[in-house]
């Protein structure tokens, strides 16, 4: 592990859903900068062990902690385990997504069961997690949640309805939490990750993956490629730095410029 940029040395972090994908990218980036990381996972203990091993192989500190964030009693048990291991926290990242494909449904067809699943793994999980993590956070700590701009601000991707509405709620909750925690110097922000390779996208059928990722490569993301977990990890690390202590209650978009593109104009008019 590089030692020339260890500004998080001595910092303690918990990232939910960090055994793989975007969560793993966040865990690795924070660890590279010196933070010790609690790697939360739902079921795949091998993936969590692999993330921990990658961190330790680079000279970092990490341990796995199993918990289903949709179950309040498991959230509480996770916080107790983290407290026993670390004693305190400096960074909490709410990243766990849940089984997105199980509640993909348009607004006029979504069932109450699908809605409840999205709510329990997003809005409610974030509320309960923040309430339980705040006593562990040292002053000047950081809270972040992962959102998705087209889901929370637009309406065209109809199957994303339940998740998108809950992502919008997360962003709103960040603003309220930011005000409530400002006296302690704790910042609370949301990061809207763009479509990211090596993430939930890769659980889609191969033809759907190719359609989505090739669309981005064709120019609908100005950077010409989909995001990576490391890209999102970098955005999280930036907001966790000391320099970001005056940024709170904000929704930051990390999507390579995809949300800057206009569907009203032919792509050829928008390319440099």
User: What are the residue numbers of the active site?
Assistant: 160, 167
C-beta separation of 166 from 97 below 8 A: no
Distance (Å, whole) CA 151 – CA 165: 7
Distance (Å, whole) CA 232 – CA 253: 10
Q: How far is CA 84 from CA 65, 81, 262, in A?
A: 12, 5, 50
For residue 231, the tally of other CB atoms under 10 A from its CB is: 21
The region that residue 47 occupies, defined by phi over 0 for left and psi between -120 and 50 for alpha, beta otherwise, is: alpha
Distance (Å, whole) CA 114 – CA 162: 7
């Amino acid at each position: 592990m590089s030692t020339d940029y260890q500004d998080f040395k001595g910092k303690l972090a918990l990232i939910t859903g960090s055994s793989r994908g975007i969560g793993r990218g966040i865990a690795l980036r924070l660890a590279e900068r010196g933070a010790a990381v609690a790697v939360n996972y739902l079921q795949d203990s091998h993936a969590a062990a692999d993330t921990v091993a990658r961190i330790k192989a680079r000279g970092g500190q990490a341990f796995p902690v199993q918990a289903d964030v949709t179950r309040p009693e498991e959230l509480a048990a996770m916080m107790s385990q983290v407290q026993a291991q670390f004693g305190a926290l400096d960074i909490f990242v709410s990243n766990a997504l849940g089984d997105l494909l199980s509640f993909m449904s348009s607004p006029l067809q979504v069932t109450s069961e699908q809605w409840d699943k999205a709510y329990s793994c997003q809005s409610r999980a974030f509320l309960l997690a923040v309430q339980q993590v705040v006593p562990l956070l040292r002053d000047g700590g950081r809270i972040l949640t992962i959102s998705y701009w087209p889901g929370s601000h637009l309406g065209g991707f109809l199957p994303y309805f339940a998740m998108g509405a809950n992502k919008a709620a997360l962003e709103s909750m960040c603003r309220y939490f930011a005000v409530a925690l400002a006296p302690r110097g704790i910042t609370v922000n949301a990061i809207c990750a763009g479509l990211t390779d090596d993430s939930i996208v890769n659980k889609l059928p191969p033809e759907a993956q190719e359609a989505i990722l090739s669309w981005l490569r064709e120019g609908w993301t100005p950077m010409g490629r989909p995001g990576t977990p490391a890209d999102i990890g970098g955005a999280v690390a930036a907001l966790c730095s000391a320099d970001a202590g005056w940024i709170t209650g904000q929704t930051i978009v990390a999507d390579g410029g995809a949300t800057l593109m206009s569907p009203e104009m032919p792509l050829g008019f928008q390319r440099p």
